[in-house]
Structure 1
Amino acid sequence: MAGPVVFAGSQRLEWRRDELEMHAFHLDVPEGVDDITVEFQYAVRPGDAILGPDLVAVQWQRLLLYPAGWYASNIPVQASVRLPSGLHAVSSLHAEEASDGSVRYAVTTLDTLLDAPAIAARHVRSYDLGLAGQPAFRLSLLSDSGETPELSDRDAADMRRMMRETHAVFGRAPYERFEALVILSDAFPPGGIEHTDSAEIYLPADYFRNRSRQLNNLDLIVHEHVHAWNGRFRVPVGQWTPTPNTPIRNGMLWSYEGQTEFWGRVLAARSGLRSQQETLDKLALDAATVQAMNGRAWKPLRDTTNDPLYMSSRAAVWPEWQRRKDYYTEGVLLWLEVDMMLREGSGDRYGLDDLAAAFYSAELGPGPHTYTFDDLCAALHRLLPIDWSKHLDERLDTHVPLVLGGLGRAGWELVYDEQPTATFLQNEAEMGGYDVRHSIGMVVDAHGRVQSVTWEGPAFRAGIGPGAVVEAINGEAFSREALLRAIARSVDEPVALRINQGAYRSDLEIDYDRGARYPHLRRMSGRPDRLAQLLNSRSP
């Protein structure tokens, strides 16, 4: 924000920024003044994708000030926006009037406005995908490219199957209508932002044209929709706040995000967005990532829930050692283990489907409804009477990857072999480097620059650090082929590198002799395949 000026009528009022809360401003309002006007600009960086000629993301929290001392739910507000010519806006807000690039929305409350972004694009196509007997669900595709996006018949059928599978787990939706705002653009990294009645979902421009290249992102739409129940309707008590500037407590992100990520994996499989094999490969990647996080020795899963408060926008230099938002991936394995424990302990009568149907039920009445750790444990206890508080605390505070035990309960084990899966290769491409973390312990880009090094791994012990450049491998100029060939031959000969580390060059050997290693899941003999039970369709 820049250039704030405050007026009472024609009189300019001076303001002072609060000494502690940098987003708060103090001013003296003369007696008899009923309203004030504040003018300011929101300055974006050059090239910032949220404000472009063909796509604008109107995120209201960046564009308003509000009176202090009131719950956001008690502040009425009417918003309007004027857009560049030819752009069409989509939002869960009710548009009271729209003409000539301007949209005026109906009066609502501040908390509703802040939770309802408007995305405008030059190319928009919307699809009504709601099910009979359920609230409306609209999927809007917004593109900043030169063509209008569209769903194929297969894509539309897959999205409807996703809806059926989601409602089969959670029951009736807690919203009146839902807007899934799918922004198809290469200007944003893949990701999403959940809202009560909508979701911002950022996907590559060719997502629906080339689904076979999207194995890493196939559960993103599912994930953001599940948040309508888990995170927006039922909210961990520390994450509900009366105003947008009240600090939140993220201590239960392993449930808010971790369980939602779990359901993303499961529902993508049940609805056919991923095949069963693709799901196994994704879970293998999850498990290998969890296993590699040796920073657990000092930073348990519980502490990673603080990451959004102090390192959200910062890349970790040593990701396995520093850990960053691991409640997503490790949360998948945590909740997989819980599901398997419920199945084992109840003779396969109960699973996490039963927790979801009861704990997140819209029958609780209009939300949001907050819950505590004890509430969640009590709900699990009703399905299987064990000490869930002790179990979850152990997983949250452990220094070893206990959550991997869920795979064994499911009848599967994590193994490594010399062949990467398609899912692994696509994940590697998104990282922008060659991922050999599970062998010599580093990620290297196409130019030989080391992006990251696994703490205490073979490359680390050889003296290689992030930023070093690999110039040669076993006497060959650096290339992906030379790197992989040297690792494959490491069983018989050492991996010799010439390294440029800025001020000096050095020749060194990596002490490694296990060949190529890529993660897979393998069936365990003599154990029931409960993972197959979990991934089977539930909808008629």
Structure 2
Amino acid sequence: MSPLHYRIEPAEPAAHRFHVALTIQAPDPSGQWLALPAWIPGSYLVRDFARHVLTLSAEAAGQAVAVEQVDKDRWRVEPVDGPLTVMMEVHAYDTSVRTAYLDTERGFFNATSLCLRVIGQEHLPCTVDLIAPDAAAVTGNWRVATSMRPVEAEPWGFGRYGCEHYDELIDHPVELGVFDVVEFEAGGRPHAIANTAAGRYDAEALASDVARICDAQVALFGELPCDRYLFLNNVSADGYGGLEHRYSSALAAPRRAMPDGSGRRSDDYVNFLGLVSHEYFHLWNVRRLMPAAVAHSDLESAAYFDDLWAYEGITSYYDDLGLLRAGVIDSARYLDLLAKQMTRLERNPGRYRQSLAESSRLAWTKFYQQDASAANAIVSYYNKGALVACALDLTLRRETDDQCSLDHVMRELWTRYGRAMKPIPDAAIEQVAAEVSGLDLSDFFDAMIRTPGEVPLPDLLADFGVEATCRPAAGPDDAGGRQPGEAPSSRCRTGLNARGQRQPRLINVLDDSPAQQAGLAPGDRLVAIDHEEATPAVIKAVEQRRVAGETVAVHVIRGDRLLERQLTLGDAEPNTWTLTLAESSSEDAHARRSAWLRTSAAPGE
């Protein structure tokens, strides 16, 4: 048996409980310390996974051994002679990609939620026995999907798996249940997608599109540093998100985002492909190009660093650009996606209060634990980070006559750090970008990273033959980009940013907006506007038919009280970006644009 052996059983699906046993062959003779991580790499929030531990006990040679829980996520076991076994019951009922879940339909876990860290033995190899549930306790014929290496297990089967050390163990999420497998090759290596509860979808189209995306990302770095890759995709009515790992990623997608066989790539499907592209890019950027603060963390407390924008923002830039390079969207559709990113930032007053460095460092609280002031106080390192990455790419291309781009910077980072998995210090990207390009970029990074404010993309885009136009929104659903047909623009502004159809709830209230001046607050439920039932369609009608300066009555429910407020309509605000190809631009601009966008046919548009 290996020095460390875990036995994981979905023992009580109806009660959402995993049973976990850990056997330590040579425990610390002075008493073995154990810990459960407080957070998982790739998600920068202290989640305290140990709070889901229901019971923890230990035994040696068939006799109970005393265990003391020292703090919220650490235990000390009394000294023993010979092997030590620690048993846990863990409650698992979180559908996110970051934790653990179990019911009669499916199971899922990250080892950070179930597998104790044996302090002092993290470097030792371990084995994991995945035990099948009682067939009568679950629905269907359950299988296993994981990128963990099998030791004594059939493909997609329960059995024994192995890892070189604890860090590898917690980097392989596991899906249990009934799922479809779509297999394909990318970068010359086997890839697969395990789709849970996906319903009917076009598996051939999915395999083709994802393979093209993966190949495009491999081409950027010039090599694929893994011998296999697995996407775990849990499909539901409205789930969305992902978490990256070195050999796999865990995805959550809405069912409407799966390809329907029509040959047309819907907006929902393109968004899903963007998520796939994002998490796949992370197998280089984050999982191997790893920030030093994360690489050196024991996962018991937050790891603070100022460059999170470079890991999530640069990845967010390349996720949509990867769709274009793969040929699954055309350049016009890519510019729509970029325009939506620009629109998100344009509508975020927090960009004037928080810098990207601050956003990165304070992600643990300000971003992951947002309060009612968030829209006015913070900026997203994903959103602004992606736009800064785009600005950096365009600046490098323009100032070096396309001899250098962000692609070159990423490849150099890979050569210096990623290939050997050498931790990356803060500001390394700034140093590498300057060295590779030969440019003095200090003013650029000071303005973009350490100073709150705008990203000068409109002027940069003009030098690439792309016209940027900022206009009023055509309605509550207008997130930016081209609008179908002749959609009328708003004539006035309410500031009612709400979600839902019946009694929609205000998501945020922006500074100096008509909604704020009327005394409305985030969380208010809209009941009526101008004496009509409040719906998104009514908000849109008011903004398109009324004019600035008029006053409308707004009824809301706050807590358990019905309130009436008088809202004075404001001027329609140009806060929505549209990007179009400027065919009348210069030859130099055309050449830059072609090199940047690498336009290619995108069938199925």
Task: Evaluate the alpha carbon distance shift between residue 13 and residue 277 of structure 1 in structure 2; reply closer, same or farther with a 3 A threshold.
Answer: same
Measure the CA separation in 1 of the matches of 2:439 and 2:576: 36
Aligned to 2:595: 533
- Spell out, residue by residue over 1:8-51, the C-alpha distance to the aligned partner (whole angstroms, 9 max, x if none): 223322222334xx211123314xx1321111111134888822
Which of 285, 288, 313 does residue 343 from structure 2 map onto?
288
Which residue number corresponds to residue 436 of structure 2? 383
Instruction: Give the structure 2 partner of residue 432 of structure 1.
Output: none
Alignment match, 2:89: 41
2:398 pairs with 1:344: yes
Change (3 A) 1:533 1:17: same
C-alpha distance in 2, partners of 1:376/1:112? Answer: 26
Equivalent residue for 2:564?
Answer: 506
In 1, the alpha carbon distance for the partners of 2:507 and 2:419 equals 48
**Aligned-partner Cα distance in 1 for 2:95–2:211:** 36
Q: What code does the residue aligned with 1:377 have?
A: E
- Specify which of 72, 75, 80 is matched with residue 124 of structure 2: 75
| Paired letter, 1:416 | R
Q: Distance in 2 between matches of 1:128 and 1:81?
A: 26
1:476: how far off?
A: 2.9
Match of 1:521 in 2: 579
Deviates more, 1:499-508 or 1:405-414: 405-414
Secondary structure, in 3 states, of the residue corresponding to 1:120? strand
Task: Name the aligned partner's letter for residue 506 of structure 1.
Answer: E
- Counterparts of 1:401 and 1:233 in 2: how far apart (Å)? 31
Q: 1:353 aligns with which of 393, 403, 407?
A: 407
Contact 1:218 / 1:274 at 8 angstroms: preserved in 2? no
Deviation at 1:306, TM superposition (A): 3.4
8 Å CA contact 1:491–1:515 kept in 2: the answer is no
Gap regions ≥5 residues in structure 2: 1-52, 136-140, 482-489
Matches within 5 A, 1:230-241: 230-241=285-296
Q: Given the superposition, is the C-alpha separation of residues 407 and 439 from structure 1 closer, same or farther in structure 2, using an over 3 Å criterion?
A: farther
Query: What is the CA distance between 1:409 and its match in structure 2?
Result: 4.8
What is the match of residue 199 of structure 1? 249
Query: Structure 1 residues 172, 516: CA separation in 2 closer, same or farther (over 3 Å shift)?
Result: closer
**Cα distance between partner residues in 2 of 1:277 and 1:421:** 23
8 Å contact kept, 2:226–2:247: yes
2-structure distance, mates of 1:301, 1:57: 34
Letter in 1 for 2:391: E
Residue in structure 2 matching 1:143, options 178, 196, 199: 196
Q: Percent of counterpart pairs with the same letter? A: 19
CA–CA distance in 2 between the matches of 1:423 and 1:127? 37
Matched, 1:485 2:535: no
Counterparts in 2 of 1:354-503, with a 5 A limit? 354-361=408-415, 367-404=420-457, 406-410=460-464, 411-419=466-474, 424=479, 439-444=493-498, 445-448=500-503, 449-491=505-547, 494-502=550-558, 503=561
Task: Verify the 8 A CA contact 1:339 1:351 in the aligned structure 2.
Answer: yes
Give, in whole Å, the separation in 2 of the partners of 1:492 and 1:53.
Answer: 55
Cα distance, 1:290 vs structure 2 = 1.2
Does residue 27 in structure 1 map to residue 77 in structure 2? yes
Name 2:357's counterpart in structure 1: 302
- Residue in 2 that maps onto 1:51: 102
Superposition TM-score, scaled by structure 2 size: 0.77
Contact preservation (8 Å) 1:453, 1:466 = yes
1:220 equivalent in alignment to 2:275: yes
Which of 367, 382, 389 is the matching residue for 1:335?
Answer: 389
Structure 1 unmatched ranges of 5 or more: 427-435
The one-letter code matched in structure 2 to 1:80 is D
Seen in structure 2, the aligned counterparts of structure 1 residues 46 and 284 have a Cα distance that, compared at 3 Å, is closer
Match of 1:248 among 272, 287, 303: 303
User: 1:16 matched to which residue of 2?
Assistant: 68
1:374–1:493 CA distance, 2 compared to 1 (3 A): closer
Please give the alpha-carbon distance, in whole angstroms, between the structure 1 residues aligned to 2:128 and 2:168: 11
User: Does structure 1 retain, via aligned residues, the 8 Å contact 2:391–2:455?
Assistant: no
- Aligned CA distance change for structure 1 residues 418 and 371 (closer, same or farther; 3 Å): closer
**Matched position secondary structure for 2:434:** helix
RMSD (Å) for aligned C-alpha atoms: 3.1
The one-letter amino acid paired with 2:494 is I
What is the match of residue 159 of structure 2?
103
- Residue type of the partner of 2:115? L
After TM superposition, give the deviation of residue 206 of structure 1 in Å: 3.8
Q: What is aligned with 1:277?
A: 332
Counterpart AA for 1:245: E
Using the TM superposition, give the Cα deviation of residue 191 of structure 1 relative to its aligned residue in structure 2, in angstroms: 1.1
Between the aligned partners of 2:247 and 2:285, the Cα distance in structure 1 is 13
* Alpha-carbon contact 1:342-1:383 (below 8 Å) kept: no
Deviation at 1:439, TM superposition (A): 3.9
Tell me the residue number matched to 1:185. Answer: 236
Alpha-carbon spacing, 1:317–1:271, altered in 2? closer, same or farther (3 Å): same
2:266 partner SS: helix
1:366 CA displacement: 5.1
TM-aligned CA deviation for residue 139 of structure 1 = 2.1
Match of 1:65 in 2: 116
Q: Which residue of the partner structure matches residue 55 of structure 2?
A: 3
Rate the CA distance shift 1:320–1:408 in 2: closer, same or farther, 3 A: farther
How far the C-alpha of 1:412 sits from its partner, in A, is 3.4
Q: Secondary structure at the match of 2:91?
A: coil
Change (3 A) 1:201 1:54: same
Q: Which amino acid aligns with 1:25?
A: W
Deviation at 1:317, TM superposition (A): 2.2
Q: Please identify, of 115-124 and 239-248, the stretch whose mean Cα deviation from structure 2 is larger.
A: 239-248
Q: 1:423 to 1:441 in 2, by over 3 A?
A: closer
Amino acid across the alignment from 2:85: T
Distance across 2 between alignment mates of 1:392 and 1:113: 37
Structure 1 contact 299–323 (Cα < 8 Å) conserved:
yes
User: For structure 1, which segment, 120-129 or 108-117, has the greater mean C-alpha deviation from structure 2 after superposition?
Assistant: 120-129
1:429 maps to what in 2?
none
- Which of 203, 221, 225 aligns to 1:170? It is 221
**Cα 1:401/1:425, change in 2 over 3 Å:** closer
Cα distance change on mapping 1:203 and 1:137 into 2, 3 Å: farther
Output one character per residue of 1:227-264: Cα deviation in whole Å (capped at 9) or x when no partner: 11111121122221264436423421111111111110
Structure 1 residues 390-399 or 111-120, which shifts more?
A: 390-399
Q: CA deviation at 1:466?
A: 1.7
Q: Which amino acid aligns with 1:79?
A: V
Give per-residue Cα distances to partners, 1:421-467, cap 9 Å, x unaligned: 988399xxxxxxxxx9x943232232233232113322112211123
Deviation at 1:177, TM superposition (A): 2.1
CA, structure 1 residues 247+163, in 2 after alignment: closer, same or farther (shift >3 Å)?
Answer: same
CA change 1:407–1:53 in 2 (3 A) is farther
- Retained in 1: the 8 A contact 2:194–2:230? no
Question: 2: CA distance between counterparts of 1:378 and 1:141?
Answer: 40
1:121-132 aligned within 5 A:
121-131=177-187
Q: CA 1:166–1:350 in 2, change beyond 3 Å: closer, same or farther?
A: same
**Residues in 1 aligned to 2:435 and 2:173: alpha-carbon distance in whole angstroms:** 38
Contact kept? 1:90, 1:181, Cα under 8 Å = yes
Contact 1:56–1:121 (8 Å) recurs in 2? yes
CA spacing shift, 1:235–1:75, aligned 2, 3 Å: same
CA separation of 1:117 and 1:507: change in aligned 2, threshold 3 A: closer
- Counterpart Cα distance in 2 of 1:288 and 1:425: 6
